[in-house]
Amino acid sequence: MNANKALWEKGDFTRLAATMRESGDELIESVGVAKGMEVLDLGCGDGTTAVPSARRGANVLGVDIAENLVAAGNARAREAGLDNLRFIEGDASRLDDLADSRFDLVVSIFGAMFAPRPFDVAKEMVRVTRPGGRIVMGNWIPADPTLVAQILKISAAYAPPPPEGFISPVTWGLEENVRERFGAAGIPPAQISCERATYVFRHPGPPSEFLSTFRRFYGPTMNAFEAAAKDGRDGQLQSELEALFESQNQGGPERTVIPATYLKVTVRKS
Ligand SMILES: C[S@@+](CC[C@H](N)C(=O)[O-])C[C@H]1O[C@@H](n2cnc3c(N)ncnc32)[C@H](O)[C@@H]1O
């Protein structure tokens, strides 16, 4: 069994992605995606950034390890009439079917960070980018006090210990790791830049309802609740997460608006 694939097929990430659309669109605007560009969206989910890229006229390929999310992405592309957008299954650490230098831009927002073997992931992203092209990654930051880093941290504390050799996805949120991984893929330091940026989650109901979406549909949180329930700690986990969601919410009692900090990485390939 591929645990990485199973984790993301377990829930239904489309339910969370629905709360991330506005920031996805703003991010693609800021990156300058334009008509005719060849774009790879890696760990694309159901297309939070792939759809806005295609709406701006780019030819977009979304690659994701989860079969259900690939199907959801293709359904969104069909409904939107975007014949320049296609989703396929694939693993960010082994993009065997994609030719060298094929893309002007590789985008991976909270996607490739979850793939195993981060050095292979960096190498593959660089390989499929054309000389003169760019890679833009969004990565959650370890120990950051905002929402997602804290959900991952709290969830990990309740889940069983990871297998030997497991490299935490949030290691991609530290600049020194980003530099080491892309450096090993042949990118000089001056062509790598990192900055802190914000993604905003928006949900039309209160934060407790938003938390319940995570509990029911987000693989890492689902696993944490299952593990916690086995030793009677699910109530404790619920309380810890409720306090987090309440403290992060800026939308008032009826609405959820939660900004979360991430590391935005831009790599230029010469
Ligand atoms: C947090 S979601 C983000 C999805 C999307 N980028 C977005 O912003 O809505 C993480 C995504 O990475 C995908 N993923 C995890 N491991 C992967 C891998 N090894 N290769 C490709 N995709 C992967 C998951 O299936 C999931 O769709």
* 90, two tokens: 């694939």
The rounded Å distance from CA 44 to ligand 1 centre is 6
Give pLDDT, residue 160: 86
The answer to the question of residue 226 being in a domain is no
- pLDDT band of residue 1 (cuts 50, 70, 90) is confident
**Ligand 1 pocket: which residues have CB below 6 Å?**
4, 8, 13, 17, 20, 43-45, 48-49, 64-66, 69, 91-93, 109-111, 114-115
- Say if strands 129-140 and 59-64 run parallel, antiparallel, or are unpaired: unpaired
% of the chain surpassing 90 pLDDT: 98
> How far does residue 184's CA lie from ligand 1's centre (Å)?
23
CA distance linking residue 204 with residue 102, whole number of Å:
40
What is the rounded distance in angstroms from the CA atom of residue 146 to the CA atom of residue 257? 12
In a domain? residue 223 = no
Question: By the 8 A CB rule, do 136 and 264 touch?
Answer: yes
Question: Is 227 a domain residue?
Answer: no
- Residue 232 Cα to ligand 1 midpoint, Å, equals 30
Q: Which long-range contacts (CB under 8 A, 24 or more apart) does 157-164 make?
A: 158/224, 158/225, 158/227, 158/228, 158/233, 158/237, 159/220, 159/223, 159/224, 159/227, 160/227, 163/3
Which residue from 4, 53, 64 has its CB within 8 A of the most atoms of ligand 1, so it is best to mutate? 64
The answer to whether residue 197 sits within a structural domain is yes
Q: Give burial (CB, 10 Å; 0-12/13-18/19+) of 199.
A: buried
Question: For residue 57, what is the domain's CATH number?
Answer: 3.40.50.150
Which residue from 4, 13, 67, 199 has its CB within 8 A of the most atoms of ligand 1, so it is best to mutate?
13
CB count within 10 Å of CB 264 equals 19
Range of the domain at 181: 3-142+163-202+259-268
**Most informative mutation of 44, 125, 139, 140 for ligand 1 (most atoms within 8 A of CB):** 44
Q: Regarding beta strands 129-140 and 256-268, do their DSSP bridges make them parallel or antiparallel, or are they unpaired?
A: antiparallel
Residue 150 within any structural domain of the chain:
no
Strands (E), 28-72: 38-42, 59-64
Cβ pair 262, 139 in contact under 8 A: yes
Q: pLDDT of 13-52, one tens digit each? A: 999 999 999 999 999 999 999 999 999 999 999 999 999 9
In angstroms, the CA 245 to CA 159 distance is 20
Question: Three-state DSSP class for 257?
Answer: strand
Region 176-191 average pLDDT: 98
Mean of the per-residue pLDDT values of the chain: 97
Confidence of residue 64 (pLDDT cuts 50, 70, 90): very high
Identify the band that residue 229 occupies on the pLDDT scale cut at 50, 70 and 90: very high
Name the closest-CA residue to atom 17, ligand 1: 115
Indicate if the pLDDT at residue 186 is higher than 90. Answer: yes
Dist. CA 136 → ligand 1 center (Å) = 15
* Residue 234, domain member (yes or no): no
The mean pLDDT of 242-262, rounded to a whole number, is 98
Residues 130-155 pLDDT 10s: 999 999 999 999 999 999 999 999 99
Number of independent structural domains in the chain: 1
Angle between helix axes 3-10 and 67-79 (nearest 10 degrees) is: 50
Q: What is the pLDDT of residue 40?
A: 99
Token pair of 110 as six digits: 């909270």
Q: Tell me, yes or no, whether 149 lies in a domain.
A: no
- In testing the pocket of ligand 1, which one of 65, 113, 136 has its CB within 8 Å of the most ligand atoms? 65
- Average pLDDT of span 64-81: 98
Residue 236 banded pLDDT, cuts 50, 70, 90: very high
Centroid of ligand 1 to alpha carbon of 62 (angstroms):
10
The verdict on residue 128 lying in a domain is yes
pTM, rounded to two decimals: 0.97
